[in-house]
Amino acid sequence: MRTIIEPFRIKMTEEIRLVPREQREKALQEAHYNVFLLDAELCPIDLLTDSGTGAMSAKQWAALMLGDESYAGSKSWKKFENAVRTITGFKHILPTHQGRAAEGILAQTQIREGDVIPNNSHFDTTRANFEFVGATALDLVCDEGMQPGLDAPFKGNMDIDKLRTCIETHGRERIPFCMITVTNNTGGGQPISMQNIREVKAVLKEYGIPLVIDACRFAENAYFIREREHGYGDKSLLEIAQEMFSYADAATMSAKKDGLANIGGFLACHDDGWGEAFRNALIMREGFPTYGGLAGRDLEVIAVGLMEALEYDYQVYRHATITYLGKKFEERNIPFVKPVGGHALFIDAKEFLPHIPPLHYPGIGLVNALYVDGGIRGVELGSVMFGKKDDQGVEKPARLELVRLAFPRRVYTQSHFDYIVEVIDDVLLHRDQIPGYRITRQPQYLRHFTCHFEPMK
């Protein structure tokens, strides 16, 4: 059969409702034109994030009831540790309440002021955590990864020459570790090849620099390696993930993505010194090392979810849904990052709305139009999220102005996807009238979450 079906059926439903357009307009205005400030019940197609928004399986719900809430050494912890160790092989495994807690502990314990941390592309919380302790966070993604329209298999790869130059320029002693983010969320959810991970590791080994994997979407990355990289077609996703982690010295993880859980994460490593430092910080910030920032039932859910994310049929279905939307967009000449990412489709807002200059935030223009036209909540990954002020305080635009439609796992069906296409068709009709925006209020860090906007006349 040619039709790829969802490898599950639905046992429980959650009501969504499309409120009238005028109500959406009013809600957006009251939210200061920032969709992060909208009530979720007014967002029937909520594609703000794939983080913590997935549907749990019957096995996960069953596991939840087995949660052992003992403070120390619970049965649930053993299952969690066993699942994480089976996949990653790490010696020290520390549960955290989500990915950024792991990043915070890594930053607090391993980074000194003035350090430099290379990555293919830092996620915003990773960058913020590292910059908060005085480091410079550098993005060294390959050139292919910077061309949204280019269709290439591994656009998340790190540029090996840039990595070498970075180490030679800043000096090994200023680089406490290098990171690779799988998949490369901010660059379009693009995967990283095994060969690239191997090459990065080889360079780092020369200089004695540890490699840390930001593993949020490790299972999606393993799927892409199986489908696209020579020599992996007959391997299981678990085997591929194990090989990926075999090159790493440590990992940070948000179980809200490929842990198929609504909350959770971990920090893991081989080195005893790092393990000890992580544990001390964890106890202060998150909790005792056998529960971290989580309840026993969360540990149970994650132990099951990590393995379910590595099921091949699940990844085939997940990728098929996003590819389906990509094909419809392509038929309409809607510019988006090609190929579609593992967890999301990223529209190129700069090209979609050429009349809006980057510092008038075309991404916000498109996000708000999608919301008003159809109740779809996407997110800007552009100059609001990544724009920076230079030394004179002048704002510099981001490299790309993207709008991400991120897909919660196992949540929306094909008719929801068809509806998204209809809404886009509607937006296309009046795109020339979509306004740019100016920021009227912003905090010092991670401004995109809470800043206020005003449409430009």
Per CB under 6 A, residues contacting ligand F0G are: 49, 51, 98-100, 123, 125-126, 181, 185, 214, 216, 254, 256, 265, 406
Characterize 183-215 residue by residue with b for buried, 16 or more Cβ atoms within 10 angstroms of its Cβ, and e for exposed: bbbbbbbbbbbbebbebbbebbeeeebbbbbbb
Q: Which among 115, 103, 110, 101 has a CA at the least distance from the CA of 276?
A: 110
Nearer to ligand F0G, 366 or 406 (CB): 406
Q: Which among 237, 227, 236 has a CA at the least distance from the CA of 258?
A: 237
Q: Which among 300, 242, 248, 244 has a CA at the least distance from the CA of 95?
A: 300
**Nearest distance in Å: CB 179, ligand F0G:** 10
**Nearest distance in Å: CB 96, ligand F0G:** 9
**Nearest distance in Å: CB 230, ligand F0G:** 26
**Nearest distance in Å: CB 103, ligand F0G:** 7
Nearer to ligand F0G, 99 or 289 (CB): 99
**Nearest distance in Å: CB 125, ligand F0G:** 5
d(CA 269, CA 248): 8
**Alpha helices, DSSP H, located in 16-141:** 21-30, 58-64, 75-88, 99-110, 124-132
Nearer to ligand F0G, 123 or 371 (CB): 123
Q: Which among 343, 321, 328, 324 has a CA at the least distance from the CA of 425?
A: 328
192 and 180 Cβ atoms separated by less than 8 Å:
yes
d(CA 38, CA 367): 13
| Distance set, CA 332 to CA 154, 206, 414, 429 (Å) | 25, 48, 18, 12
Query: What residue is closest to ligand F0G based on CB?
Result: 99
Q: Which residues contact 165 (CB under 8 A, 6 or more apart)?
A: none
Nearer to ligand F0G, 181 or 315 (CB): 181
**Nearest distance in Å: CB 185, ligand F0G:** 4
Nearer to ligand F0G, 74 or 98 (CB): 98
Nearer to ligand F0G, 99 or 210 (CB): 99
Q: Which among 75, 93, 45, 32 has a CA at the least distance from the CA of 414?
A: 45
125 and 133 Cβ atoms separated by less than 8 Å:
no
What does the radius of gyration of the chain's CA atoms come to, in whole angstroms? 21
**Nearest distance in Å: CB 252, ligand F0G:** 7
Nearer to ligand F0G, 356 or 370 (CB): 370
The dihedral region occupied by 346, where left means phi > 0, alpha psi between -120 and 50, and beta the remainder, is: beta
Nearer to ligand F0G, 52 or 357 (CB): 52
**Nearest distance in Å: CB 404, ligand F0G:** 8
**Nearest distance in Å: CB 82, ligand F0G:** 22
Nearer to ligand F0G, 222 or 356 (CB): 222
